[in-house]
Structure 1
Amino acid sequence: MTATIQPVILCGGAGTRLWPESRGTRAKQFLPLTSSTSLFQQTVARVPAGETFASPIILCGDAHVPFVREQMGQAEASLLVEPMPRSTAAAIALAVARSDADTLLLAMPSDHVIADVPAFHAAIAQGARLAQQDWLVTFGITPDRPDTGFGYIAGGAPLDDAGFAVSRFIEKPPLAEAEAMLAAGTYSWNAGIFLFRAGRMRDAMLTHCRAIFEAADRAVAAGMHDGDAFYADAIAFEKAPSDSIDYAVMEKDDRVAVVPVQMGWSDLGSWQTVHTLAADKDANGNVAVGDVFLHESRGNLVRAPGKRVSLIGMEDVAVIVDGDDILVMPLARSQDVRAAAKARD
């Protein structure tokens, strides 16, 4: 790489797909779901400050500032605090507004799993070459199954062995279309990771979503520092329309590139996925956290710190205990957890 890359770690939001552990300010990214460290800490560790990466910018809401500071420990970082959620376009616009035009920004979620970090770094190096040529770069995950839960990216013309021009973005498809795209071999899952020159994204936003960028720009101009954190102005930022960076910019711009990569990626979007990715399964495929007794039981996920849980003759179920909330369900019904979250929180 010929330039230091500025990581921008998107740390807002909570979500309900991993209820009851993930909710409110105790969001999924701050939980130790696949190892002893949180997803956020794993994300920070993937972009260590040095020759390749600058110290990260952590973009988060005010309620998450204490979690970020605690989990960063002594590591150096800058906090960029959004006053209220306005989705990823406005969040990224804040980082763009605070950056020099030639800075390469790597915007990425804080709650994903990437098992093959060298493959991730190699893809970033390829993307940096394209970003310096003023491509807006996204990273596509090489699919290994016809999953209907992800958006897809169609790759077009090759770009200097570094990636492909994006021909189109596809919303979450029906199964038949997902199977056809898997067979075609030129489609990737949209991982929501982006690399671009700040000035190029600024121009793209002024073209495609001017109201979002101008609100973020004013929020930065009227913002204030508090130690290691910069707080964007709430009155200005509130006027930003809420839209994702995909809809607001990437799907509209005519110079978008995709770098396909196989890097052991997962958005860890369900308790079933947490079970699948767990490295500490017993001989019967059970994953247990807490004081758990398992008898003639297979393929279960039990997370009950501080509680005593016994399973007898159970297969492929999740038991998640958090305070007074207890979730019990077949792992195959993990996508239905939102119903319980809505009823209970």
Structure 2
Amino acid sequence: MARSVPVIMCGGAGTRVWPESRETLPKQFIPLVGEQSTFQRLVTMLGESGQFDRPLVVTNQEYRFLVAEQLEQCGLEATIVLEPERRDSGPAVAVAAALAAKGGPNMIVSLFAADHVYEKPEAFLEACDAAVATARQGYVTSFGIKPTFPATGFGYIQPGDPIGDAGAHTIAAFVEKPDEETARRYVAEGYLWNSGNFVFPAELMRSEIARFEPEMAEAVDEAVEGAKSDLGFVVLDPEAFGRATKKSIDYAVMERTDRAAVVEADVGWSDLGTWNAVQDFLAKDEHGNSARGDVLLVDCENVHVRSEETLTAVVGIKDAVVVTTPDAVLVLNSNEADKVKALVETLRQEKRREIVEHRRVYRPWGYYQGVDEGVRHQVKRILVRPGGRLSLQKHFHRAEHWIVVKGTAEVTRDNEVMQVHENESVYLPIGCTHRLANPGKIDLELIEVQTGSYLGEDDIIRIEDIYNRN
């Protein structure tokens, strides 16, 4: 088996599967199918195969601890590279190529999206081998998927002349998302879907980006050379990276290069781009229904319902998706799945918090979850992992009352440090400097009651933070 450096792109937001996918917890970190997130499914498959080197994960500051925690849950390690800002896939691929090239002149990169799934893992790994073999002949190699319907949400690839004996072809045409009539023609003419995953020689990709997008190449090279280590993460230079042209790798290179190839990959692929796509990957009953969580279905047909915390009963409905979360409910006609993105844009214009975060908000030390709120009060449940420490901070507009319900809390209040045990509490007046930590070996759980004139998360003045947050 030919080896390569796997690079996992892990920075997208996944708005089409709202309300489960949100800006602070996007779909690649959610168990949409199975018990693992799509990111974990991918890294586990790559790690168990034995045919890849140490993974490189390209993500951003906001997701860095999610990536690290989910890797740890899988018992895997990776080099985690942080983009200072989102600049589309072109600069991210350029970063991956530049970093991989440091390993030697013949390094091959296998680039995968973190939010895709492969129902046929053995076939996927065989396709990876074929793509690596093709890349070694000097090609940027795509995974082409045989269309099952005339999709308008994918790009298309027209295979050209055969290359070698790995089943690869040159790419005669690489085209972006078509209208429905054009998509039907593409399917009839034997075009393949572009899966958005590529295998390439690192130096070839670097030279192609430099040829077509010299400003992007120069900015990325400076960002990589100026990168620094922060808590074990590789942080690209923000000023240099901010100058990189914001453009997808498809537009930057794939539509312009004469060194493109495609391997047809019958791997059970999906980008889980809509709720319909998610439903396609789930087990169904004799009426075509699928359910996850606390769900009751009566006289339903072709319905997908998800509800992890609240009983959701659906009666006499056909062709629908129902998703219940603690703070939002989506009821969707299955034929209108593509309109979720437009819905999210409407919510964004209304500045709704529900597109940004769940009621449970994850932090590097654990999470907090809203329980109740009013005009001058807010109640949260807080969980701190063993060894976790919140920042040393203060507030100008609120006081807090912490009640420990499990474990032992180490509480700093101004110049005082105290141990607070189960069924004990501590009061933190407005303006005091305070910190919460878990010195024990089990999770620390507590109830936080906030009172004051303003309860927003931006009323936090961080004085010291072991996670180097601003």
Q: Which TM class, normalised by the smaller chain length?
A: over 0.9
Any residues of structure 2 matched to 1:146-295 within 5 Å, and which? Answer: 146-162=150-166, 163-185=168-190, 187-279=191-283, 281-295=284-298
Offset, 1:50: 6.6
Offset, 1:258: 0.7
Pairing 1:304–2:307 present: yes
What TM-score do you get using the length of structure 2 for normalisation?
0.70
Q: Does the 8 A contact of 2:47 with 2:76 survive in 1?
A: no
Q: Which residue of 1 aligns with 2:113?
A: 109
After superposition, the Cα gap between the structure-2 partners of 1:328 and 1:50, relative to the gap in structure 1 and judged at 3 Å, is closer
Offset, 1:227: 4.0
Pairing 1:118–2:128 present: no
Match of 1:131 among 135, 138, 144: 135
More divergent stretch after superposition (22-31 vs 165-174): 165-174
Offset, 1:49: 6.2
Q: Which residue of 1 aligns with 2:10?
A: 11
Q: Does the 8 A contact of 1:7 with 1:54 survive in 2?
A: yes
Matched residue type, 1:62: Q
Higher strand share: 2
What TM-score do you get using the length of structure 1 for normalisation?
0.95
Aligned residue for 2:43, secondary structure, equals: helix
Q: Does the 8 A contact of 1:139 with 1:191 survive in 2?
A: yes
After superposition, the Cα gap between the structure-2 partners of 1:50 and 1:276, relative to the gap in structure 1 and judged at 3 Å, is closer
Offset, 1:12: 0.4
Q: Which residue of 2 aligns with 1:65?
A: 64
Greater relative contact order: 1 or 2 (C-alpha under 8 angstroms, separation 6 or more)? 1
Offset, 1:181: 2.4
Structure showing greater radius of gyration is 2
2:54, 2:172 → 1: CA distance? 34
Number of residues paired by the alignment?
342
After superposition, the Cα gap between the structure-2 partners of 1:164 and 1:315, relative to the gap in structure 1 and judged at 3 Å, is same
Aligned residue for 2:217, secondary structure, equals: helix
1:51, 1:314 → 2: CA distance? 46
Q: For residues 4-58 of structure 1, give each alpha carbon's deviation from its aligned partner in whole angstroms, at most 9, with x where no partner exists.
A: 2100000002131011111112001011111111111111122116742012101
Offset, 1:285: 2.2
1:336, 1:197 → 2: CA distance? 38
Q: Does the 8 A contact of 2:131 with 2:263 survive in 1?
A: yes
Structure 1 runs not aligned, ≥5 long: none
2:285, 2:147 → 1: CA distance? 28
Matched residue type, 2:110: L
2:85, 2:51 → 1: CA distance? 31
1:247, 1:224 → 2: CA distance? 30
Offset, 1:161: 2.7
1:291, 1:49 → 2: CA distance? 33
Offset, 1:236: 0.8
Higher helix share: 1
Pairing 1:99–2:100 present: yes
2:126, 2:343 → 1: CA distance? 41
1:180, 1:95 → 2: CA distance? 35
Matched residue type, 1:79: I
2:48, 2:236 → 1: CA distance? 25
Aligned residue for 1:225, secondary structure, equals: strand
- State the identity %: 38
Matched residue type, 1:95: A
Pairing 1:343–2:346 present: yes
Q: Which runs of 4+ in 1 moved over 3 A?
A: none
Q: For residues 296-344 of structure 1, give each alpha carbon's deviation from its aligned partner in whole angstroms, at most 9, with x where no partner exists.
A: 1222111111101111111121111222211112111111112332233
Aligned residue for 1:23, secondary structure, equals: coil
Offset, 1:255: 1.2
